[in-house]
Chains A and B, each alone.
Chain A
Amino acid sequence: MLSYSLKRLGSAVPTLFFLITVAFFLIRIAPGGPFDSERALPPEIEANLAAKYHLDEHLVVQYARYLWQIARFDFGPSFHYLDWSINDLIAQGAPVSFTLGALALLLALVIGVPVGAWAALRQNRASDYTVMSVAMIGISIPNFVMAPLLILLFAVTLGWLPAGGWAFEPARMVLPVITLALPMIAYIARITRGSMIEVLHSSFIRTARAKGMPEKDVLINHALRPALLPVISYLGPAAAAILTGSVVVERIFTIPGIGSYFVQGALNRDYTLVMGVVILYGILIIAFNFLVDLIYAVLDPRIRYDESDA
Chain B
Amino acid sequence: MSRIVFATVLSLVLIACGSDRNPDSPPQPASLMADPVDFEPDETGRPPESALASDQILHRGNAEEPQTLDPHLAQGVPALTILRDLYEGLTTTEPDGHIVPGSAAHWDISRDGLLYTFYLDPESRWSNGEPLTAHDFVWSWKRVVNPETGAGYGRMLAPVKNAEAILAGEMAVDLLGVEALSDSSFQVTLEAPTPYFLGLLTHPTTFPVYRPSLEAYGASHVRPGQLVSNGAYRLADWQVRAFIELVRNPHYRQAEQVIVEQVLYYPFEDEGTEFNRFRAGDLQWTYQVPSSQFRWLENNMSEALQVAPWFGTYFFGFNLQRTPFQDNQGLRQALNLAVDRDILTSSVTRFGEIPTHNLVPPGLPDYSPYVPETAEWTQAEREAEAQRLYQQAGYSQDNPLTVELRYNSSENHRRVSVAVAAMWKQVLGVQTRLINEEFRVFLQNRAMGRVTEVFRAGWIGDYQDAFTFLELFHSEHARNDSGYNNPGYDRLLGQIAAERIPALRRNLMVEAERMLLADQVILPVFVYVSKRLVDPRLQGWQENVMDHHLTRHMYLLKAEGKRIHGDSVVADTQGQPSRGNAEDTRTPR
Contacts and interface: CB of A to CB of B under 8 A. Distances in A.
Interface stretch (A68-76, A150-158, A188-196, A277-285): A150-158
23 contacts: A31-B444, A32-B439, A42-B168, A45-B150, A48-B147, A77-B219, A81-B68, A82-B219, A83-B68, A133-B1, A133-B2, A133-B5, A137-B9, A153-B16, A157-B15, A157-B19, A162-B282, A163-B276, A164-B282, A165-B277, A254-B277, A256-B239, A260-B241
Interface string B136-164: 00000000000110111011000000000
A159 interface: yes
Interface stretch (A11-19, A33-41, A211-219, A236-244): A33-41
Interface stretch (B265-273, B385-393, B504-512): B265-273
Interface stretch (B69-77, B193-201, B315-323): B69-77
Nearest to A38: B587
B242 interface: yes
A41 B17 CA distance: 46
Contacts of B447: 40
Interface string B52-67: 0000000000000101
Given A83-B70, A260-B269, A42 B154 contact: yes
A38 B585 contact: yes
B223 interface: yes
A21 interface: no
Contacts of B441: 30-32
Given A33-B440, A48-B148, A152-B16, A164 B1 contact: no
Contacts of B147: 44-45, 48
A83 B69 contact: yes
Given A251-B269, A256-B242, A43 B282 contact: no
A56 to B, nearest CB: 13
Nearest to B166: A44
Interface residues of B, number: 69
Contacts of B15: 152-153, 157
B478 interface: yes
A280 B316 CA distance: 42
Nearest to B447: A40
A38 B4 CA distance: 52
Given A42-B154, A81-B67, A251 B273 contact: yes
Contact of B223 (A52, A83, A89, A269): A83
Interface in B1-50: 1-2, 4-5, 8-9, 12-13, 15-19, 27, 29
Given A39-B75, A40-B479, A41-B478, A49 B150 contact: yes
B433 interface: no
B169 interface: yes
Nearest to A269: B440
A274 B279 CA distance: 34
Contacts of A153: 12, 15-16
Given A38-B588, A45-B150, A156 B241 contact: no
A148 B67 contact: no
B280 interface: yes
A36 B152 CA distance: 10
B282 A163 contact: yes
A156 B29 CA distance: 8
Nearest to B27: A157
A156 B479 contact: no
B167 interface: yes
A115 to B, nearest CB: 16
A130 B444 contact: no
A264 interface: yes
Interface in A103-126: 126
Contacts of B154: 42, 45
B242 A166 contact: yes
A252 to B, nearest CB: 5
Given A157-B18, A251-B270, 10 more contacts: A38-B479, A42-B154, A48-B147, A81-B65, A84-B240, A130-B1, A153-B15, A156-B280, A163-B273, A267-B438
A81 B244 CA distance: 14
Contacts of A38: 443, 458-459, 479, 585, 587-589
Interface string B466-487: 0000000000001100000000
Nearest to B239: A256
Given A93-B240, A256-B242, A159 B270 contact: no
Contacts of A88: 240
A139 to B, nearest CB: 13
A137 B5 contact: yes
Nearest to B242: A256
